[in-house]
Each structure stands twice: as C-alpha cells, then as structure tokens.
Amino acid sequence: TLVDEFPDRSVLGGAPFNVAYHLKRLGLEPLLVTRVGLDDNGDRLLDAMRDAGMDTRGVQRDSVLPTGRVRVTFDEAGHRFEIVENQAYDAIDPDEAVEALRAAAPRLVYFGTVAQRCETSRPALDAILGATDCPRWLDINLRAPFDDTDVILRSLDLADDLKLNDDELRIVAGRLDLTGQDPELHVAELIRRFDLRSVTVTCGASGAWSLDADGNRARVEGRPLDGPLVDTVGAGDGFAAVSILGWLRDWTPQQTLERADAFARRLCLIRGAIPDDPEIYDHR
C-alpha cells in the first residue's frame, strides 16, 4: 500500500489497496493486510478506507518506516514507476497479520510480488496463507528490480490462479525457459507445472484471454475507449478486482473477461487508479 506521486498530485495506490477498494465498492467485504507509517500518508490511507466503509483491522502502523511511495512519470511509451525502497509495507508483522485474519473467514486471498521483496514481509504472506485454506489469487505485477526469478517461482508455487499481462508472460516464459514462442502453450505449461486452476492474460488495448486447467478458453477482443485516454495506472488492478468478483459470483469465464475488461477501460478515462466518482461502479 502506497501513495502514487504524479507530477501534479499524489493519490493512494498499490495493487492490494486498489483491488480491495474496488471490491468494497463492488459490494464485497475485503480485509486489506498492509503496514503504513505514523505519518500524514498513513493517516490519509486510513481515512480513505474508513470513508469507503472498509475494514481497517489489517492495517499496521510503523513508528520508523514511512508509508510507501511510488513516483509516476509519463513518456511516449506510457507511465513509468520508481518504487521507493525501505517502506512500511516492507515490515508487515506476521503475528499481527494472522491476528487480523481471525475475525475473517476469507473465501480468497489476493497477493502479489512487490511486498515480497523484503525478508520481513515475506514471512507475513506465508503466515497468512498458512492460516487459511481458501484459493490463492496471484496478480504477479512484476516491477524491476523486485522481479527476480526466485520471487516468480515462489509466488507461482503458492498460487491457485494467476493473472498477468502479456509483457509479464513473456518475461516469465523467458525466465522459466518455457517451450516455444506461443503464449497459449506457455500458459498451458504454467498450469501444468504449477498445478494452477486458471491463468488470465491481459493485453492492454488488445483485450484479454484466459485458459483453465480443464482446457476452457475465453477471450475478449480490444475495442476503442469510450473517451480520451487519461492514463492506464491501475487499470490492471480494476481488471483483477472484477475478475475476483466474477469468481466469487460464479460468472462464466467469458462473462468475467468481458466485465473486467470493460471496467478496466473505464479506469483509463480517469487520472490514477481510484475514481472520485462512485458512479463508475454502477455499471457492474
């Protein structure tokens, strides 16, 4: 959980926060496990969560490390991230994390890779997964230089379902020496090698596709946005949130892809990952 610092303003962000916020607005009850500093940004995060009616019991406070920050810049290729190191989310306490879970009965655990960059927070994820027996949804979110092959392998070993974008699939295929050049064959190999239930691949403006362990395929083709592109920050997190909603509500893979892609496209029409206007959720 962190603050995205744009050239003209800062907004709350981080994939787990974005996904949890969307899930709350979409009618679910997420429990966000994270750690923030005893600073203005930490207060800001908790205020935003309370305003949204979110459960804050999983948010730890750190008296030394600051709330996470990411500097976001733009160029012709899109947006770029500079992820600051030694932040509060690097020090998530395993015991506090498990204590927060005791009041919850999660149907799914969502996790990523950046919070595993530190040997302090990594055991917290292990403790959470060890205290639950529900499916584990990995949104791999590879961010250099915190994307070494060990964290990829570790995360895939922990996961039941995987979401990644087409660039990340190429990286994973190269790191793991997957056979050939066909992305669908790469996904099929990932499913077999790591005993995954499903893999979803987002392709930006070109849509998305998925494959599951039973060989079921789904695809949504790209189409123009319904307005001018503002930025793509957080679009993948919005896609993940609606995908999780679809899994919990037993939508078909095709319905899930179509609705997740539509929501992600709406987020491309606003600045940042979190909409100011709650009416964006009325289209679900």
44 and 103 Cβ atoms separated by less than 8 Å: no
Taking only the tens of pLDDT, the chain with its 284 residues reads 899 888 888 889 899 999 999 999 999 999 999 999 999 999 999 999 999 999 999 999 999 999 999 887 877 766 677 888 999 999 999 999 999 998 788 999 999 999 899 888 999 999 999 999 999 999 998 988 888 999 999 999 999 999 999 999 999 999 999 999 999 999 999 999 999 999 999 999 999 999 999 999 999 999 899 999 988 888 999 999 999 999 999 999 999 999 999 999 999 988 878 888 888 887 54
C-alpha span between 151 and 157 (Å, rounded): 10
Question: Which tokens in the block code for residue 184?
Answer: 């669908």
| 173, two tokens | 């295929």
CA gap 150, 154 in Å, rounded: 6
Q: How far is CA 11 from CA 56, 69, 147, 259, in A?
A: 19, 10, 24, 25
Which pair of tokens denotes residue 227? 């307005």
Cβ-contact 273, 241 below 8 angstroms: no
The answer, as to whether pTM is greater than 0.75, is yes
- Pair 94, 123: CB distance under 8 Å: yes
| 173 alpha carbon, distance to own chain's centre | 20
